Structure formats: structure tokens, C-alpha cells
Structure 1
């Protein structure tokens, strides 16, 4: 009963007690799959590493091909080597020609077919080019037919358009009996352009390979925002694999200074950009936890930012990948401050209400964090005593559950306890309909009101209901843990997107809605903690 009394003192009603086309798709995505593999031997730092610090694309309009007359001389063609990118340029009313001889003895060559991956990244456009366009006015043509290539008859070639600063394609050739040599011919030619002159120039990096694409674009950001306060943001890059011969960098652009639509998929343009506000090198020793979390500070209150992750292949002169750009906005209030690297509640990585002492300068960030962490740990002690009465190490038939262990129970209870004693805080202007608003000096329990004494109004992102359900699932039934069942009772202490929420909601509790003007707005419907709980839930299903 002492345990239940402790729980009730926290003032929660909650505890009542996924053959050529397929091959190309796989190859174009294989780099992402490789990068997604989490290295289980990550060396974690004891603390977070601190770094100081578009609208939808318009409809694509297909350009007319720029007609060139006369044959080209094969002596003027540039020979390309396997997996060796080149940097080049082409002017309007001209072309640049390349050729590549596939290695027929390569392990990547099939006995019946030749495959060559073509990829390119656009570094620069003509000065008069409209950078709001997705089309780049440049096309790469290829053929295995020598006569067609020499005639520059692009109608007989396969075209790869540059869009958003990026181009990729797969050249294929069926091998023939008694033919021992094959050559891939490629022409880079500007499209028709009314505003272009002979001085108009496109700069690009270009590579061919029988193994894989060397310039890449992924439609997923690969990095997500964990939480923000008024000057700091925590990012998560859990799917990054810190393998050899690659490095990662994230570019943060301030509002009004962003990557133009015409180049937002270009590794070259982004890597050479000077318009970013902050550039972060993401390394294995600068992230924490298996989710690869890292922190960036020195940002500005209420400011809107865009960011993009870039991977560079360090074993070649040019080459790498770009992940989809994402955006985030800093808090509009100083009522909340990010908490992380706590000793006891070590999975806490979100903003919490600041204390009056911290706000007035009389308390350090470290002292504020210690106050929260020590309070949570003190409430865990009675639960530890109760767990000592449970036969955790006895034979399986005598345990309280054949599939759950005492360690499962301790973990779930700790995550729940930390979430209810260390409330997740957001500014009132970012609050959604399921978030709990508080005036200055108020909070969910006596500790928040009397010890923290929040100096400014704020809103709380309530714990997710499934954190309560995890305790019921993982702990002995003798403890009498129970969770509210009706919507009215749930909404008093928990966030649950399943109750009367018409908006779309993601798995981590972020609800997505649209305002009257059609802009997408997001708010976090509930605060979920406990990576192990996600794994447990999956294994139990």
C-alpha cells in the first residue's frame, strides 16, 4: 500500500491502479539501407555533445531538347573510369561527350547483361536561371550505339533530366554472342533556353559505376528533431551508420536563407554552399544513445530554421548523398529548458519547466537538472523495496509472468515515473488541444509548484497512455496497477491520440493538422519514453 500511496501523491488519476527496374530501385536505395544499419558497438559519450551554432516544388514543365548539328569527334570524348567522379561544365549551344568501357570480367557484370549506374550532381546554374524551378535545363543522353552517339541524334538516345540539381539513371545492354567489347557513350547537352547566351554555363559533377550510384538523394530526412527550447535543439539521427569512407554533416539555414528549389537535391551545391548559418560535423563520438542524439545551441528564440543532412564519400574526390530537407522552429517562450544527460532519468531528452531561481539567474542549468533527477529517484525507492518481495530469479513456473521479467517491470516503471515527475514543457503558443496549459507557479504536482515554481505560463505535453499500459503489462498483478479506460479520465493525466482525435497521428505521438490557410501544423499529443518498451511491444504482438 505504501507504493500505491506514493503513486497517488504524484497526483495522477492515470494509475488506478516493404527484373531490371526492380534491380535499379534496389541499387538506388541500397546506399540508404547501408546507412540505416545501426552500429551496435557505438561508443557513447557520458554527455550530449553541444554544437554552437520550402514551399512545395512547382509543377515540372518538360523543356524542349536543344538541337545540335554535325557529328562529334571521338577523340574529343572524355574517358571515364569506374567509380571516379569528374567535375566539368558545359556552355549553352555546346555539348560535352564522355565514354565508358565496362569491365566484362567484373563481378558486377552478368553473363547476359551489362548494367552501368549513372549519377550526377549540379554545382552551378547560369546566372539568369530561375532558381525556383525544379527543372535545371540540362539533359544527359546515353547510348551503347557508336553511330548514334557520333551523329548526336538525341532522339535515338535515352535521356536523363537534371532536376533539383540531381540526375540518376541505369544504362543497360544485353550482351551478344561473339561481341567482346562494349562502350557506353554519354552527351551532356543544355536544353532550349530563350534567356540563355553562349556564356551561360552549367557546372556539374558526374560519375559512372558498375557497382552503385555515387551521387544520391533520399526522400527521407534521416534526422528528426527530438525537442527544442528557446536557444537549443536536440536532434536524433538513429539510422546513421558511422562506417568507414564516409562522413556526415548537417547544414542549418536561417529563415530567409535556404537552399533554392533548383539545387535542393544537389550534393555538390549544398556541400559548397556558404549561405548556411551553422554546419555540424556528426561523428560517432559526438552523439549519445543508440538513437544517435546530439545537441545544437546558440540558436535564436522564435526563429524558423531549415536543415539538411549530407553524407560525403571520403575515398573519392567527389561524391555523396543528400537527405530531404526538414524544418523546425524554436520556442517562443523562455518558460522551458532542455533536459538531458540526467543520471537517474537517463532517457529524458526534452524541455522541462524552468524554475524561478533559474529564470532569475540564481540557479545554474546543472542545479535545475539535479533537482528534477533527485526528486524522481527519491520516489523510485519505495518501488525498489516492493520489487524485493517479488521472486524474480525463481524457476520459470513460479514467476509472476512467463514472458515478462522483473527487469521489464523496473524499466517500465522508471520511464513512467520520470515522465510524470519531469513534465515535458512547451510554450503556450505551440500547444495543441491535448496539451495541458498552466499559469505561472502551477504544475501537475506539489514539487513543480513549490520547488520549481515556474515563473512563466507554459503547457505540458502529457505522458502517453501506453506508458501506463506498459506497467500493467510488465509488472506483477499484485501491485494493482491499472490505467484509466474512458476518454474523460485519460485526458486528465495522459495524452492519447486514439481518443476523439480526427487528425493524423504518427507513432511517436505527433499529431498533424492543417490551419485555415492550409499550412501544416504539428503538435505533440503525448510524451513517450522508453525505447525498450517499443521493442517489447513489438515482440509481444
Structure 2
């Protein structure tokens, strides 16, 4: 017989308490799980007979089962026809302030995003140093940009502390997105249109938790993407909903979209410049490369801090470029990530030498105003082609990516540019002496392969001429009393500057394809074979040519019977070194602007004997006019000129081209005694020689072969000097 152990009074009370607690716990657990409390009656009683009536708890069990299966238990006619109810949309929470949320979306779908109140109430992000300030030429500031940034940061910290104490107040959120990838074209013909654009929906009322194409337009905002970009802002004080909707796809497209969506309490994560011009301009191109440059990035003087800060940067901007026949960027012209992922050529800030990107980038002061600009040398291009190019800023230029204010990048308007076709014009820039030269010049592929030699040939030839000129200028009493100077308006420095600008322009001709049909171009070197051995047909070479429409052309004289092959103007180059050393074959020249010659004559002492040809008597074969054809096209060459490209950004390029013309005129003749172009009526005392050339002397070269056979006007150089290296005459026209 078993006997129960004898418990002490303390043990007995403990056991009773434990049992009571266990029973209470079971009761509470049962109450917390109602389905377990429902008793379902069996269909049959204990004797095996069917029960009558319906289980009084069965409707509860059935309802929960139907709801779990997505069936509406409230169907009509005794629930005989179950109805599927729509599931709530999947809502994704944004990753945080200034975070790029990347996602794919299929056609016809809508992705809902929530910007939670916790992110709304977060602290403002540090904007970073950013780019140097833009200083206007007139209203200049002496406060360094860094000091301004310190003050701004201090004020920003105070604002952040205030925000932390007043989290409940409304804030503006900046919503932006970029399309990074698009569905693929699978049609049989050439793609002529981009895939349809995505649409961004943003709730305008906190009660709208499912904005989208099916929502009410009264409490949401629909922003169709344009060029793969959309942005909007709204003031909110709580969690906020937005969505991205993908439209249905035409039959000739397949695949998904990939996009970046970002929400910021600081500023837009993605942005597009509001400027109408592209801020990117073509200096020139050849058959495999293009040289582009930004506008002036500041108007500060070299002594100002902003000027120095800009020039100390390596590559504040990048460039994206694609052939117009490449459709991968179609519909993505305003999307940084779209251009970065799909462009044929994409510059990178950490690859400024272009070794891996085919885009060499550097700061320069060459060109208009000699202010800081960024230059892009884009290579690996196809000849006879047209390209789209877009200037872009990686993040905010000093930092990029998630967590950075403006970290998604910024793009400007697209511009277009052509490449040359013949292969005997090559881009020349970064010269030591003629530092303002930045355009295509006569060349051959073999010469360009040794680029340093290519640069030296042109630069050294010009520098030798300048040295000889300088010897003569030293004979002029430049540093003397005002009444003894050769001019009260100009001095020897002005003369030296005008001569250098003229010399670089005429000795390093701007080259165009011989196949170009532009009427303002001058044929050159027609009798020489192309670098590939082919020649122009004799039927063209023997055509009659009249270089001077107003010169005497008596029957039987050379001028009367001139042809393309017999005329110096068409059968040779202005610079004899081109024909003898480079041997590019036939090409066409964009003639130097006539005001370069006028400025030279007016800036230098009359004793040096400079003169310009008259209209109809050689001027048109030697110099071009800035007036051109009236649409901004570059019809004459001057240092710092941009090429008008038209196309995708014709308005902007035209505006910039007009600035280039104004600058050139101002430098050339607009500042001469306050005179304009209409004042130059050739009433100057100039030396015009329209007789046979007896001499065409250059350093170490007593005469030019064949020159004595032609009548050509030229600038005569009569400066006298004791130096044996001084030339007696330098041709200024051919």
C-alpha cells in the first residue's frame, strides 16, 4: 500500500498555488484563441443516428476558413457562389532619407511605396562642400566659398536641432525617380520610338494609402516620366504613400523596367537642369574623336578664390555619348542612371585620363573670356556619323550615391554633333605657344599616332615666325613718352597680341572634309593625292577658277586662264609645311576671320608694313566673314570659336554661338576706337600687292616653288632688322 509523502505546511501551500496558476493560465490562453473554444458537434449521435439541425458554431469555423482562402463568406443565396476578394497591394517602405530604392516592375503592375514618419522626422543630411561658387563678373564677393559653407553648416545644425524638438510639424519631401533600364525592342523593323514611360503617383491626402491608376484624381498626383525622369514635392506631417505604375507594352517590346525612386527631406535626389542650353558645346571633331567644352563655370578673375577652386578640380562633370542610331538611350535622355547604364560612351570621374572610358577630361581656361571650363576629348567614334552628347554631374559632384543629398546625379539638355569622314583632318589642342588652338587641322592617321610630334610640327613652325616678328618689334620705341609712341590707342603689347592671334589662325588652318559642300570653305592642296593614294579627277582639277573677282583678267594672262590645279589658292596650303611635311592631300579650310587681319593692321606700327587684301581682289580667298549665312554657323575661323551643331539643342547652341560671335567681334574690331564692323570701309593705309610674287620667304627657305606663277594678294612684312633670320615678306593670303 502506497502512502503519500507527508508535506510540510509550506510545501502544501506552494503546491496549491502552483496548481491554481496553471489553471488560470490555461483559461487565459483559451480565451486568447477563440477558435479553440468553439465546439463542433458531430454529424451523428452516440447511437449512430444523424443529428438534426446545424452546429451553432459552424458558421464561425467556416467564415475563418473562407477568409483565409480569400473567399467572401457573405455571398448571396446562402453562400452558394463564393467570390474572390482582391488582396491588399504589397507596400514597400523606402530605405531612408536620400536613399535610392531600386526595383524592377512588369508591364501593367503598380508598386506602392511608403515613406514612414520615422524617416520624415530624421535629421537633415549634410550636403557636403559641393562645387565652387559661381561668381558674376560684376557683383563679386570677397567671402571665400569655404567660409560661406561653414556659416551655412552652422545654420543648418541649428535648424536640425529645432527639427528634432518639433518633429510633429510638417515637412516638405522631395520625390524623384529615374528609369535605369527599359523593355527590349523585339520588332522586325528599325526601332522608331521608345518604350512607354512609367508614371509616378503621389498621394495628396494622408487617407490615400493606395495611389495609382485606379485611384481618385482628387487625392493623388500623377506625374508621367519624361525622358526617364520625374520629380515632385509635397508638404506632409505623417507617413506618406506613393506608387510607380508600368503601362501595358506594345507587341514589339518585351521585358521589365528598372527604376530608382528616392525620397528626401533635403532636396531632390535626381535632378535635371532647367537651362534651355545644354552647357556643352562642340569645339570641333574629326573622323574618330570630338572635342567638347562646357560654358564658363565662373566669371571670377584669376585672382579670386572661385577661379582657383574651379581650376583645382579634376573633373567636376562627365559626358555621355551615343550614336543617334543606337536606340538603347531612346527615352532616357533625362535619366542619369539610364544614360550611365546604356550610353555607348560614358565618362567617369575616377577615369579622367579616359584610358577605360574613351573620355579624357580636364579643366581649361581656353576660349571665351579665358574663364574656367571643363574640356572633354571623346574618342572611339565612327566617321561620317552623328552623336548625342549629354553633360552630367555625378551625384552632387563631390559625393554620390545613397545617403547623399542630390546623390542620384544631374543631367543637362542633350546636344548633337557630327564627325568628319575623309580622315585627313585631326583634332589639335593643348599647344604650348598657340594655346588657343582647339580644332581639326590638316593631318594624316600616321602623324596623329605620334601626337606629341603632331603638336610640335605646328606649334614650332608658328613659334619660329613669331620670334622673327618679335625681333622687328623690338626695334620700335615701345617704352617711351606718349607723344613719341606710334599710337595713343594701341601699344606694342597690343601689336604682339594681335600678331600672335593672326599668326596662329593663318599658320594652323582649320580643316574640313574636302567632300563638304559648304560654300564658305576654301579648297586647298587639290593636286596632291589623299593619304590613301587616291587623287581628285582631272576633270575637276582643270576647271576654271577665279580667285579675285575684281582683279584685271586680260585674255592671255595667268589670271585669265587659272584653274584649280594652277592656282596657288587651291593647289597649295597657306602654310608650306603642310604640303611638304604633313602631306594630307586635298582638304577644305575654314578661312580666318577678316577682322583678325584688320585688327593686326590697326594694332601695329605702320613701319612694319602690314596690310589686308581688298574685297574682290583676294580677300575672299584669304579670309572669311563672321556674318556667315545668318543661322549661327561657323563661317570663319577665330581662336575660341564653337561649332554650331543644331539638332537636339539647336536653340541653346545657337545662343552660345551668338555669344561666341560677339566675343570674337569684340576682340577683333569692336573695341577699336569704339568702331563697329561697318566702320571698316578699307580706308586704311594698307599695302596691297597684286603683282607677281617674286619672293615668298620663310625661315631657312629662300622661295616657294611655283609661287612666281601666280598673282595673289598678301600682307607684306617690311619690318627692318639687323637679324639675318628676319623674313622680308610673309604671305597672309592664298
CA distance in 1, matches of 2:632, 2:268: 35
Question: What residue is the counterpart of 2:527 in the other structure?
Answer: 440
Secondary structure in 1 aligned to 2:596? helix
Secondary structure in 2 aligned to 1:347? coil
1:332 CA drift (Å): 1.6
After superposition, where does 1:285-324 map in structure 2 within 5 Å? 286-287=361-362, 289-290=364-365, 291-313=373-395, 314-317=399-402, 319-324=408-413
CA distance in 2, matches of 1:216, 1:294: 22
Which of 265, 277, 281 is residue 224 of structure 1 equivalent to? 281
CA distance in 2, matches of 1:121, 1:261: 14
Q: In the alignment, is residue 493 of structure 1 matched against residue 622 of structure 2? A: yes
1:436 CA drift (Å): 0.2
1:330 CA drift (Å): 3.0
| Aligned pairs, number | 447
Question: What residue is the counterpart of 2:227 in the other structure?
Answer: 164
Question: What residue is the counterpart of 2:418 in the other structure?
Answer: 329
1:491 CA drift (Å): 2.2
TM-score by length of 1: 0.66
Gaps of 5+ in 1: 1-68, 174-181, 515-520
Secondary structure in 2 aligned to 1:261? coil
Q: Deviations over 1:488-541 (max 9, x none)?
A: 754222221316x24444694746799xxxxxx99xx9xx99999967989998
CA contact (8 A) 1:352 1:424 kept: yes
CA contact (8 A) 1:286 1:294 kept: yes
Q: Identify if the C-alpha distance between structure 1 residues 125 and 403 changes in structure 2 by more than 3 Å, giving closer, same or farther.
A: same
CA distance in 1, matches of 2:516, 2:622: 19
CA contact (8 A) 1:231 1:301 kept: yes
Question: What residue is the counterpart of 1:338 in the other structure?
Answer: 427
After superposition, where does 1:240-389 map in structure 2 within 5 Å? 248-254=317-323, 256-273=325-342, 276=344, 279=347, 281=349, 283=352, 286-287=361-362, 289-290=364-365, 291-313=373-395, 314-317=399-402, 319-354=408-443, 366-389=452-475
Secondary structure in 1 aligned to 2:102? strand
1:461 CA drift (Å): 0.9
Q: Deviations over 1:99-131 (max 9, x none)?
A: 265569975899999544322111234558998
After superposition, where does 1:9-408 map in structure 2 within 5 Å? 76=91, 78-79=93-94, 81-91=96-106, 92-99=108-115, 102=120, 107=156, 115-126=172-183, 132-133=193-194, 135-143=196-204, 145-149=205-209, 152-172=215-235, 182-183=237-238, 185-190=240-245, 193=248, 201-218=256-273, 220-237=277-294, 239=296, 248-254=317-323, 256-273=325-342, 276=344, 279=347, 281=349, 283=352, 286-287=361-362, 289-290=364-365, 291-313=373-395, 314-317=399-402, 319-354=408-443, 366-390=452-476, 392=478, 406-408=492-494
Question: What residue is the counterpart of 2:583 in the other structure?
Answer: 454
CA contact (8 A) 2:572 2:579 kept: no
Q: In the alignment, is residue 428 of structure 1 matched against residue 507 of structure 2? A: no
Q: Identify if the C-alpha distance between structure 1 residues 99 and 538 changes in structure 2 by more than 3 Å, giving closer, same or farther.
A: farther
CA contact (8 A) 2:201 2:220 kept: no
CA distance in 1, matches of 2:663, 2:603: 15
Secondary structure in 2 aligned to 1:146? coil
Q: Which stretch shifts more, 389-398 or 489-498?
A: 389-398
Q: Identify if the C-alpha distance between structure 1 residues 292 and 403 changes in structure 2 by more than 3 Å, giving closer, same or farther.
A: farther
CA distance in 2, matches of 1:467, 1:473: 10
Q: Deviations over 1:8-51 (max 9, x none)?
A: xxxxxxxxxxxxxxxxxxxxxxxxxxxxxxxxxxxxxxxxxxxx
The structure with more radius of gyration: 2
CA contact (8 A) 1:503 1:512 kept: no
CA distance in 2, matches of 1:370, 1:164: 45
CA distance in 2, matches of 1:367, 1:421: 17
CA contact (8 A) 1:230 1:332 kept: yes
CA contact (8 A) 2:427 2:440 kept: yes
CA contact (8 A) 1:311 1:321 kept: yes
Q: Identify if the C-alpha distance between structure 1 residues 478 and 300 changes in structure 2 by more than 3 Å, giving closer, same or farther.
A: same
CA distance in 2, matches of 1:121, 1:167: 7
CA contact (8 A) 1:464 1:509 kept: no
Gaps of 5+ in 2: 1-84, 125-155, 298-309, 354-359, 366-372, 529-570, 635-639, 648-652, 675-734
Which of 500, 504, 512 is residue 414 of structure 1 equivalent to? 500
CA distance in 2, matches of 1:536, 1:389: 25
Question: What residue is the counterpart of 2:66 in the other structure?
Answer: none
Q: Which stretch shifts more, 161-170 or 107-116?
A: 107-116
Q: Identify if the C-alpha distance between structure 1 residues 311 and 455 changes in structure 2 by more than 3 Å, giving closer, same or farther.
A: closer
1:242 CA drift (Å): 8.0
CA contact (8 A) 1:234 1:295 kept: yes
Q: Which structure has more strand as a fraction of its residues?
A: 1
CA contact (8 A) 1:467 1:529 kept: no
CA distance in 2, matches of 1:400, 1:105: 69
CA distance in 2, matches of 1:363, 1:266: 36
CA distance in 1, matches of 2:581, 2:312: 44
CA contact (8 A) 1:415 1:530 kept: no
CA contact (8 A) 1:121 1:266 kept: yes
Q: Deviations over 1:186-217 (max 9, x none)?
A: 41142653769xx9754321223344322122
Q: Identify if the C-alpha distance between structure 1 residues 220 and 424 changes in structure 2 by more than 3 Å, giving closer, same or farther.
A: same
CA distance in 2, matches of 1:87, 1:243: 35
Q: Which stretch shifts more, 329-338 or 148-157?
A: 148-157
Secondary structure in 1 aligned to 2:279? coil
1:87 CA drift (Å): 1.9
Q: Identify if the C-alpha distance between structure 1 residues 468 and 448 changes in structure 2 by more than 3 Å, giving closer, same or farther.
A: same
The higher-RCO structure (CA 8 Å, 6+ apart) is 1
1:414 CA drift (Å): 0.6
CA contact (8 A) 2:196 2:247 kept: no
TM-score by length of 2: 0.51
